[in-house]
Structure formats: C-alpha cells, structure tokens
Chain A
C-alpha cells in the first residue's frame, strides 16, 4: 500500500541512507528525499514541507550542524514536522535531549534499525491519517450544519411570506 507521507532522511552516511531509502520505498513510502548534511536539508525545508524527518545525530561528515541543532531549527520553523532521531550514539544524554526538544522517537542504529524506523514512520503516518479524517469529518459536520441552517432559513422565509 502506498503511503502519502513525505519523508526526508538526513544522514552523512551515504550508503546506509541509500539502503534505508530503498527499504522505505519498498515498504510503501514513495516520497523519500535524502540529504547528507543539515544545512542543505534546512534550505529545502520551506520549499518541500517535509512531514517526517529521520535525522542522524552525528552529521560531522557532511556539514557543521549536528542533529540536535537541526532538530531545533526544524521545530522553530515547522513545528508540525515529525522528527525521528536515528543515531549511532547509544547515548542516554543525546536521547533525552532530542526527546526534550521535540523529537518523536529515538532509534539507535542496530541490526533491526531499518525496521524500527519503518515502524516509527508507520505511527506518524497513522497520526496523519487520523488528523486528516478528523478534519474531513469536521468539514462534513460544518457543511451539514450550514445545509440545515439554510433549509430552516428557507422554510422560515417561505412561511413568513405566506
């Protein structure tokens, strides 16, 4: 099943990012972009309106910003964007800091990491779908309310004219 969720992978590890991208595409995420440094991702953030970001902590092979700095910039400019921290650092300090700063999840790179990223993205996708359905049913409720009010007004006008 195709999942309509824009995903950005931000990681300076080129081969693993490529493999993860293919893995996610195979699992239904058709729109997956990759960036190898925080700076180029942040440049594109406004343009592409990413919905979920899988963000590495140590981006030193790419640019000057680390993952926590990129997270801070994302939350400042696009608070609704979901961020999944994906790090080779099994560090409680970084995990706590990232979650405190608005990350939705913290995944340590391991043998099962790709599957865990997919599971985490599935949760984000489910939330998006729920929000979308909620907005749709709210819109339908409003339209029905307006329809009823228009009908009542028309009936009232009809009887007023009698």
Chain B
C-alpha cells in the first residue's frame, strides 16, 4: 500500500479511487479462481494468477504475492496445483479484498 499512500498523499478520496480500481479487478477474478476446476488444464488458472500477482504486490500483500508467484511458476513448469492450494490462495485473496473494502468505509 506504500505506493498508493505516497501517490494519494493524504487525500482520502484519491486513496479510495485507487482501492476501487484494484477491487474492480480482484473481485471478479477471485470468483473466476473459485470457479476454476483444478482437474482440467490449469492454464486459465495460471493466467489469472499472473494477472493478479502484480496487483497484489502493488497493494503490499507480500505473502499472497509469494504464494501466487510460486503457484504460477509450478503450473508454468508443467506441474499442477491441487484444490487445497487453490483454496488457500482464494482465502488469502478474499481476506485482502475484505481489508480493502474496510478501507473504503
């Protein structure tokens, strides 16, 4: 959140604007991840993880970013992630979204 804090420079409306921008992507993509089937080809999951990991990093959620980067790498190198791993990512993302929504109040 450091970069967003610096850019919004104490302007709460500007900060909310940035948070909404991220939420607009994170919320629908979380639903896509929840609906993903790990028993099928995992390229669509990899694409979502790739897309979200940079955003999660900008927001400052380092642990979630590290997990997503690792899972993306695993799929890219021919491996697979299991349902438990995907659920953990979804849980982390969901917590992050909740925290961001709190900041909008």
Whether B58 contacts A61 by the Cβ 8 Å rule is: no
Let me know if B55 and A15 touch, CB within 8 A: yes
Q: Collect the chain B residues with CB atoms within 8 Å of residue A26's CB.
A: 7
Q: Mark A92-114, 1 if CB is under 8 A from B, else 0.
A: 00000000000000000111001
Does A23 lie at the interface of the complex (its beta carbon under 8 Å from any beta carbon of B)?
yes
Q: Indicate whether A23 sits within 8 Å of B22 (C-beta atoms), given known contacts A13-B54, A110-B57, A111-B57.
A: no
Query: Using Cβ atoms and an 8 Å threshold, which residues of chain A touch B7?
Result: 19, 22-23, 26
Chain A: interface residue total (CB-CB under 8 A): 18
**Do A15 and B18 touch (CB < 8 A)?**
yes
| Interface contact B4-A19, CB-CB below 8 Å | yes
- Would you call A88 and B3 a contact (CB within 8 A)? no
Does A60 interact with chain B (Cβ within 8 Å)? yes
Q: Does B47 contact A (CB under 8 A)?
A: yes
CB of A16 within 8 Å of the partner chain: yes
Chain A contacts for B55, CB-based, 8 A: 13, 15-16
Q: How many A-B residue pairs have CB under 8 A?
A: 42
Q: Are B53 and A14 in contact (CB under 8 A)?
A: no
- Bound state CA distance, A13 and B42, in angstroms? 21
Q: Are B25 and A14 in contact (CB under 8 A)?
A: yes
* List of A residues within 8 angstroms of B24 by Cβ: 14-15
Q: Report whether A15 and B3 are in contact in the complex, using a CB–CB cutoff of 8 Å.
A: no
Q: Which of B3, B4, B22 has the most CB of A within 10 A?
A: B3
| 10 shortest interchain CB distances as A-B pairs | A15-B21, A15-B22, A109-B54, A88-B54, A22-B7, A16-B54, A16-B58, A18-B21, A13-B54, A15-B55
Q: Which residues of B contact A (CB under 8 A)?
A: 3-4, 7, 18, 21-22, 24-25, 47, 50-51, 53-55, 57-58
Q: Which residues of A contact B (CB under 8 A)?
A: 12-16, 18-19, 22-23, 26, 58, 60-61, 88, 109-111, 114
